[in-house]
Amino acid sequence: MESGDPLAARALALDVLMRVEEIGAHADATLAGALAAARLDVRDRALASRLVYGTLAWQGRLDWQLARLADRDCASFDPRIRMTLRLGLYQLTLLDRVPPHAAVATSVELAKRAVPAASRLVNAVLRRAARERASLPLPDPAADPLEHLAVAFSHPRWLVERWRRRFGDGVRDLLAADNEAAPTVLRARPGEREALMSRLAATGIACEPGRFAPDAIRVQAADPHALPGWSDGAFSVQEEASQLVTWLLEPRPGMRVLDACAAPGGKAAHAAERMRDQGTIVAGDRRRRGAAAIARNAARLGLHAIRPIVFDARAAEATLAHGSFDRILVDAPCSGLGTLRAHPEIRWRRTPDDLRRLATTQRRILDAATPLLRPGGVLVYSTCTLTDEENADVVDRWLAAHPELRRERADEILPPSARALVDDAGALRTLPHRHGLDGFFAVRARRV
């Protein structure tokens, strides 16, 4: 696909969205691959990215309104036509800079390429949407407040119900924050943030320092892998809250560190940089492709302390020597519900059963990793979710089962800029609607 084709950005977005829906692909990786293969200019790359993330985030509301505009269930449409309609309605109702006639015309042309016989249907539905877009309905909040929130803010009803219990009146702000575009955040090498910002600014890239993590830089870029400095390892792409987890781990030169669930290796690389590449970081993943991704990332950054291995963290105590690590990071598999800005498709894939299953896995990994910690060593447990089942409940049961561990407050370890992110119990806890960060949770404990 090339710029100059008026449909290029929209056709690329449609292809990415179809792969996300049909084969369960991850939107961020699929979009990055598609952008790398396309020859689009900066404007079209930005439009394609906004269409992918926005359409996924607002999918629930779009489908609810499309069903009423077309007088039929969205599930009855051909999948590619359904996605074309979502794209068109998203542009009509939620983007400011796309003229209605352009949103309708380009959607009809996409339909002609996919299912020509359905192009008249697409034209009729979207023309009606263009006429009525200022008054399209939503569920009556007086009749069913939960359903209103779920459709208006495009989240599954079960998740809205759970978060209303957890966050009370703040639930609307959280739901709204989940639908905002995630900022692109880089992690400069330790002590090199100013130099990297100068390098980016010299090429016209707008950037600013992060608020909380000392090495973080926020940039305006649809494809950070195309920025100067990526190929020579001057930075990594890593959300700011994620960077703070490594600060909480506090790795030092010469230490022996285990990153038990390491792929794709961002936190292991950050730890290696903070250790000045001196010491050993055993970076495990249960999949070969995960270990390979860790190795590629370490090679790009020129880091030699990282030792990727294939292993099941749930059986870590049977694989690695007991008492052999100064630091252990269990960045556990989780529901990812704190990262809906960057991974909007997750909300449509998770179920309440997933939370129970994941909590069981998280407890098994913690129980298996704890014996590997040497006396005086530190273990950090972290997730990128907001659910108590995967956060506080897991930690409470883990610490109760291991009296050899003592919990330590995060605000005594984190840099001063991040200490306001620590809750009353001493955990690092970030929230999209309060801090403008992904929702992360992390607890630190020391073996006595």
Q: Catalytic site residues?
A: 384
| Cβ-contact 448, 379 below 8 angstroms | no
CA angle 76, 81, 84 (to 5 degrees): 130
Using a 10 angstrom Cβ sphere, with 0-12 exposed, 13-18 middle and 19 or more buried, the burial of residue 161 is: middle
Classify the phi-psi angles of 426: left when phi > 0, otherwise alpha if psi is within -120 to 50, otherwise beta: left
**Which one-letter amino acid corresponds to residue 375?**
P
